[in-house]
Amino acid sequence: MRELALNILDITENSLAAGAKHVSIALTADFTADRMRIEICDDGCGMDEETLAKVTDPFTTSRTTRSVGMGIPLFKYSAESTGGNFGIFSEKGKGTRIFAEYVIGHIDRMPLGDFGGVVLQLATMNPSVDFTVTVEADGRKGVLDTSEIKEILGGIPLDMPEVRAFLKDYIQENLVSIYGGRL
Amino acid sequence: MKSLEELKALREKMRSQTDNRAVAGSDETVIKVGMATCGIAAGARPVLTALLDEAEKRQLHNVSISQTGCIGLCRLEPIVEVFKGGQKYTYVLMTPEKAKKVIAEHVVNGNPVTEYLIGNN
Ligand SMILES: Nc1ncnc2c1ncn2[C@@H]1O[C@H](COP(=O)(O)OP(=O)(O)OP(=O)(O)O)[C@@H](O)[C@H]1O
Ligand SMILES: [Mg+2]
């Protein structure tokens, strides 16, 4: 992965595969401390302790098309290679929470990339899942809550071109503008 | 700044328009883009975006574009599957440029772009 936004997409795809109905994605940056954090939380099927203990090892997967799961190990590596931290918590039947913390200025930190585009893709391509996406930096906070959007739209799908165009700008102005081009 | 008030106005506008989009019938084309780790790492996201943008630009109303999990051919990602006229076409090693060509030649004009199909790669 060349962009952290792609890791976020990939980890969220795991949540969707786990049958999550609600996924929250939080991006927080503290430029003074030179730290950023990505956290993804879902209410999907969760993992038992045995699976959980193995998922950060790239030979675990529940997929049937090949035997190696790469998503979680890649996400973990993206953080740890910058001197940051990684954590995963999961409970069978309840859900999963994964976070990664980065040293922003570290030479091995991948750029965030097209985070707004990833959020737009997740929100519009998964009509039966609700997403709460928050971005926080410099004491400013922006939120996209798709359940609120759906309530206003009252049955008009999020992937209608007009709605997608609105969401694209909404995400840009309310989420991406918080960190600007700094990540 | 885009606000939810604006979204309410958009909703009213869309409700008052007669919707001719929901006419998808048997001639509907279904397009799926593999979006597992292998696909994402190989560039599936820009391919998906190009398909959506092209369909929007051409106002294609009988095309449904969605994402799917691993198709099982990681080496050939990004992969795009097109279901049209009761047949399935598997396009491999896709790029945004190739995706636009598939929309123009296959989805719109009905001629599959054979050089991108799996058999030829
Ligand atoms: N949010 C989640 N909820 C439940 N199970 C999960 C979750 N995330 C990961 N898992 C489990 O951990 C396994 C490993 O995930 P990982 O993303 O590393 O690989 P994968 O999804 O199997 O394959 P890929 O390489 O395409 O990502 C998954 O197969 C799944 O069983
Ligand atoms: Mg995965």
Nearest-Cα distance to chain B for A118, in Å, is 8
Determine the average pLDDT of the residues in A8-29: 97
The per-residue pLDDT for range A137-149, each reduced to its tens digit, is: 989 999 999 999 9
Residue B61 located in a structural domain: yes
Tens digit of pLDDT for each residue in B59-115?
Answer: 888 899 999 888 788 899 999 999 999 999 999 999 999 999 999 999 999 999 999
Domain CATH for B39: 3.40.30.10
Burial of B62 (0-12, 13-18, 19+ CB in 10 A): middle
Nearest ligand by distance to the CA of A63: 1
Name the residue ranges covered by the structural domains of chain A: 4-178
Q: What is the ipTM of this complex?
A: 0.82
**Cα distance between residue B97 and residue B49, in whole Å:** 11
Substitution site in A43, A62, A90, A122 for ligand 1 pocket (most atoms within 8 Å of beta carbon) = A62
Residue B121 lies in a domain: no
Closest-CA distance, B45 to chain A, in angstroms, reads 8
Distance from C-alpha of A59 to C-alpha of A78, rounded to nearest angstrom: 18
B3 belongs to a structural domain: no
Total domains in the fold of chain B? 1
Residue B6 lies in a domain: no
Asked if residue B31 belongs to a domain, the reply is: yes
Instruction: Identify the CATH number of the domain defined by range A4-178.
Output: 3.30.565
| Cβ–Cβ contact A151 with B under 8 A | no
* Domain span holding position B102: 24-116
pTM of the model: 0.91
Q: Which of A7, A8, A10 to mutate to test the interface with B (most CBs of B within 10 A)?
A: A10
Residue nearest ligand 1's atom 17 by CA: A71
